[in-house]
Structure 1
Amino acid sequence: MTNVGARRIAAAAVALVMGITAFAGCSRTAPTVPEESSPSASVGTSPFTTSPTPTPEEIEPDDPADPDSWVITDSGIGPVNVGDDFPDVLDEIKPSGIGTLDTCDGVAYGVAEDNAYDVIVIKDRFKGTDDVVEVSVGWIGDTMGVGPRTEEDLGLGSTKAQVLGAYEKATEQPSDIADNSYVVIDDETSKLVFTYRDGYDGAVAVSTLTGKQPSYEPCA
């Protein structure tokens, strides 16, 4: 078994024991205005003040060094698109750490800083070209709502119902891998594929590819 396959299987086993934690959101509260207040005797200003609301930090989409910022489309994930030149892609995303781990020829692999997900980029090894034919993100932590997202905020952890409701072309398809299934958005030249595993409501992987199905063990 490959390092990549073993890593994902081990992480999934841990998640089964620990349980998938809920992705908690943050809520804002408006400042409370007192019902009665006395004006200051020395300063003729408003009886109360509020702190300015901090401006949320803007994240640059598709930052080659930050996979969390990558946007998933039917043609690629972040700065990596199917059909791109594999060596050029690896050079561009080198700051992210993807491609720095020992894998096999034609497969670039990397893990997010928080170990919540991994990224795989695969070139066309069958035709012997340097064209990228697949880029995937896979869940390996204990929290699913992480990593790259689509413009509809779909990604790891999204349910089949959410994906089917967001894309008119989305269809459910069986997998050649036991206990797996897919929701596929086929754009003829490439596919956006959400992978589901029995026992999990949310997607455990999201891929953009030109082949029939996402690679299961690309280094096997």
Structure 2
Amino acid sequence: MPLARAHRLTAAFAAVVVGVSVLSACATQVPHLAEPTDTPASAITPSETITPSETPAPEQTNDPTDPDSWLVTETAIGPVEVGGDYESTLKEIRATGVGSFDCEGVAYGFAEDNAYDILVIEDREGDTGGIAEVSVGWNSDTMGVGPRTAERLGLGSTKEQVLAAYEDATEQTSHIADRSYVTIPDNDSDSKLVFGYRDGYDGAVSVSVITGEEPAYEPCA
């Protein structure tokens, strides 16, 4: 083989070898994505857990100017306590608009939003100057309004809710047609808490604290 041709073949072979080496080097530098791995759902933790907060119930402060804040018990509705002095109590709650009505010994007024009314009756038979009854009555389309018990019961509460909240609660019929009551006595006095119901309504249409047999139907009669 002539020497010049041998040199040409050697150079060509060397070029081929170099080219293959370059391609191999380039192939090894191509990045490869790692195979995806399954992550258990339990291993994924949120950065922040949001816990829904409940709307706090209004505090029952017995503010004489705000009947919505009044606490209902077996002896009183807010600052109006059965057996308390009639005249001085009316002075204390004067800002509510509750005042003298059409007859002596009866005070009456509406809540600021007109959603319920307030009735205070003096003990006219005993002539003691004390309060014989305080009642709130439903007066609008909204039932869950007005003074509430510590259990958040009041106007609009059903018989089932009241009976479940008080072990000594009892149902009774009324002398007035289409009416009934759930009564909770105060074991330390003669007063009692009464939820009044009217046929056709599931919720209480009145809440009263009284000393008599049942709340007054016509206080001026």
Structure number, greater radius of gyration: 2
Deviates more, 1:80-89 or 1:181-190: 181-190
Identity %: 63
Aligned equivalents of 1:95, 1:81: Cα separation in 2: 17
Residues 10-35 of structure 1, C-alpha deviations (whole Å, 9 max, x = no match): xxxxxxxxxxxxxxxxxxxxxxxxx8
Q: What is the match of residue 202 of structure 2?
A: 201
Contact 2:58 2:69 in 1 (8 A): no
Aligned to 2:15: none
SS at match of 2:91: helix
Q: Which residue identity is paired with 1:208?
A: V
1:70 corresponds in structure 2 to 70
**Pairwise CA distance, 1:187:** 1.8
Quote the Cα distance in structure 2 between the aligned partners of 1:217 and 1:187.
25
The answer as to whether partners of 1:71 and 1:149 remain within 8 angstroms in 2 is yes
TM-score when scaled to structure 1? 0.72
Q: Note the C-alpha offset of 1:104.
A: 1.4
> Which portions of structure 1, spanning 4 or more consecutive aligned residues, are displaced by more than 2 angstroms?
55-60
Q: Which amino acid aligns with 1:196?
A: Y
Q: What are the superposed Cα offsets for residues 19-59 of structure 1, whole Å, 9 maximum, x if unpaired?
A: xxxxxxxxxxxxxxxx89xxxxxxxxxxxxxxxx9x97975
Which one-letter code corresponds to 1:205 in the other structure?
S
The number of equivalent residue pairs is 170
Deviation at 1:126, TM superposition (A): 1.1
Q: Distance in 2 between matches of 1:92 and 1:208?
A: 18
> 3-state SS of the aligned residue for 1:185?
strand
Query: Is 1:192 aligned to 2:193, yes or no?
Result: yes
The question of whether the paired residues in 2 share the 8 Å contact of 1:123 and 1:130 is answered with yes
Larger RCO of the pair (alpha carbons < 8 Å, separation 6+): 1
Deviation at 1:175, TM superposition (A): 0.3
Alignment of 1:134-213 (within 5 A): 134-188=133-187, 189-213=190-214
Instruction: Give per-residue Cα distances to partners, 1:140-160, cap 9 Å, x unaligned.
Output: 111100000000000000000
Other-structure match for 1:80: 80
The offset of 1:103, in angstroms, is 2.5
Q: Which runs of 5 or more residues in structure 2 are unaligned?
A: 1-45, 48-52
Give the helix-richer structure, 1 or 2: 2
Paired residues of 1:103 and 1:109 also in contact (CA < 8 A): no
> Match of 1:20?
none
What does residue 38 of structure 2 align with? Answer: none
Q: What is the TM-score normalised by the length of structure 2?
A: 0.72
Contact 1:65 1:94 in 2 (8 A): yes
Query: Counterparts in 2 of 1:1-220, with a 5 A limit?
Result: 59=59, 61-99=61-99, 102-188=101-187, 189-220=190-221
Deviations 1:51-109 (A, max 9, x none): xx9x9797561000000000000001000110100001001000111116x43110110
**Residue of structure 1 equivalent to 2:6:** none
RMSD value over aligned CA atoms? 2.2
